[in-house]
Each structure stands twice: as structure tokens, then as C-alpha cells.
Amino acid sequence: EVLLRMHSVGICGSDVHYWQHGRIGDFVVKDPMVLGHEASGTVVKVGSGVTHLKPGDRVAIEPGVPREMDEFCKTGRYNLSPTIFFCATPPDDGNLCRYYKHSASYCYKLPDNVTFEEGALIEPLSVGIHACKRAGVTLGSKVFVSGSGPIGLVNVIVAKMMGAAAVVVTDLSASRLQKAKEVGADFTIQVKNETPQEVASKVEGVLGCMPNITVECTGVQACIQAGIYATRSGGTLVLVGLGPEMVTVPIVNAAVREVDIRGIFRYCNTWPVAIALLASKRINIKPLVTHRFPLEKALEAFETTKRGEGVKVMLKCDPTDQSP
């Protein structure tokens, strides 16, 4: 294990949800819990067996750490391990604090040209990497991203990076769609009160064809329905956003058109990929951070996120650090 002095911690929708509702699905907060799972910091101390890190190293933290070497770990899909530790998922504490201890194998050294903030953003970025890999995005793909929050945006960035020829994004918010344009979306559609079929036909209209890949990042029933209707026969729909447990969808439409519906659970094996992309400047995720607060103003930061202002709100945990 290593002891870290925390630097930057992003606030996620799930953090806000636990704060407001005390549960997400089967994960129920029963005792006081530290939030935060999008994080970076500086190594202060290392355990006796740690060789790849030393005090002073800047690291990005992968929040999910398997507790045992089970069948899922053996096949490289450790995110599916039922006993995995995960920051800020009850009963496991997160890392929104000044000092934090974590498994050394899940702390990744940041190159000098990658900032602490970028290190913290690797967590949401990883969702995009994992989703686009599961979706099979490749050279020339036509992609529909439903939802333009932080997770929709990282999917736009990664899909373009992986060779998508055209990416269309839908959202209710004009300002969020503007952000999607800034990070590389080719087309945006502001949804008002269209039916799912109407949304699907608008997507086809701007792309000039039906997308072979849809990445659904809202979890809203109508959006999942639109995702099925929009996806080209033989294509793939990846469900990233989580909404109600039971959702009514046109499953027969998907079945008879051989639309593959895939889920994702967090990510695995994405931190080295993300660090390589950031270090080589192949992707730019800096525009995602729109608000910064010191740890003392955490409540204000959470309120800002809850109101849906900006994109990514970042908390600064190190009072001695003077960087912007």
C-alpha cells in the first residue's frame, strides 16, 4: 500500500446521489462514508513491498481494487469481481480527504506533462474508454452519444480518438451541447419533447444514415428507447447511464434487427491507456473542468454539481499547493 497526500478530486453524479439519497440501487449508505473516487495525489510513504513508486511521485488513483484473485480477475475483467473494493461505494470510504491510503498496484505514476487535474479526470475518461471498447468503435464508425454530461463528453472524445467518422450528441441543454461541440462532436441535437422515434429519425437525418453504434449515457427510459430505434440493424447499443431498475423498451425491435445491447460496469485496464493518451497529447480533457473549490468549500462544490452548473467540479485537497 501507499499513503498519499491528496491533490485533486472530482465530484461525480454518484457522489451527489449518495449525499442526497443515501443509496444507489443495492448500494445503501448505512454508516458515515467519505465520498470521492476521481482522484490524484502525491506519494508520501510506501509499504515495504512497493517497488514501482517512491515518496514524491505524482499518481492517479484507480478506485476499484479487487480483494481476491477470482475468475473475473484471472480473465482480466476484475471490475466484475463481486467482492471488489471501490472508493465511495458503501461500505468503502472514498478519497475526498487530505491523506489517503490505497493499494500501490492501483496507483499509476503521472508523467511530468500530465497535471493532477488530468490525473483525476482519468476516472471519468476511463468510462468512455471502456464503453467505446465494448461498443466496438473503430475507423469510420458512425456514433450516437445520448446525453452530454461529463460521461457523454468523454465518450465523444474517446469515440473520435478511436476513429469514429461522425459523432452526434443529444441533450436537453443547449450549453451542454455547446461543450460537446467544443470537445469534438460533429453534430448536436437539442431534444425538447420529441418521441423516441422522432429523436431516432433526427439522428439519422443529421448523420445521413443510422449510427452503427449508440452510447446511452442518461439512463432515462425514453432515451434508451430512442437508442434502440436509432441504432442500425446489426449495430450495438451500449448502456452506460443508470436509471430505474425496471425500464420498458422496444426489445422486439432490437431483437429482430439484431441490435446488440451491452452493459458496462465502471471500467478495467484503462489507466495505462489513458495516461499514454494524455502524455502524448493525443486527447485534451482539460476543458471538462469548469469549477474549482478548496476542500473547505466542499459543500459549495457539491451544491454547484447538484444544480448542474458547468461540467466537472474539482476539489483541491492540498492547501500548500499553489497551482491553478
* 3-state SS assignment for residue 86: strand
pLDDT given at position 323: 56
Instruction: Assess whether pLDDT exceeds 70 at residue 322.
Output: no
SS3 122: helix
Residue 93 DSSP SS3: coil
266-295 pLDDT, tens digit per residue, is: 999 999 999 999 999 999 999 999 999 999
**pLDDT tens-digit series, residues 242-265:** 999 999 999 999 999 999 999 999
Tens digits of per-residue pLDDT, 12-28?
999 999 999 999 988 99
- The class (CATH top level) of 129-263 is alpha beta
Q: Rounded distance, CA 204 to CA 65, Å?
A: 41
Spatial separation of the C-alpha atoms in residues 162 and 101, rounded to whole Å:
34
Report the distance separating Cα 160 and Cα 308, nearest Å.
25
pLDDT above 90: percentage of residues in the chain: 97
β partners of residue 215: 145, 238
- Residue 25 pLDDT: 87
CATH homologous superfamily, domain 2-109+285-316: Medium-chain alcohol dehydrogenases, catalytic domain (3.90.180.10)
Q: Would you list the domain boundaries of the chain?
A: 2-109+285-316, 129-263
122-136: average pLDDT: 98
**Looking at the predicted structure, is the pLDDT value of residue 50 above 90?**
yes
Strand partners, 8: 40, 316
Q: How many CB atoms lie within 10 A of CB 148?
A: 30
Residue 324, pLDDT > 60, answer no
Residue 16's identity, in one-letter code, is: V
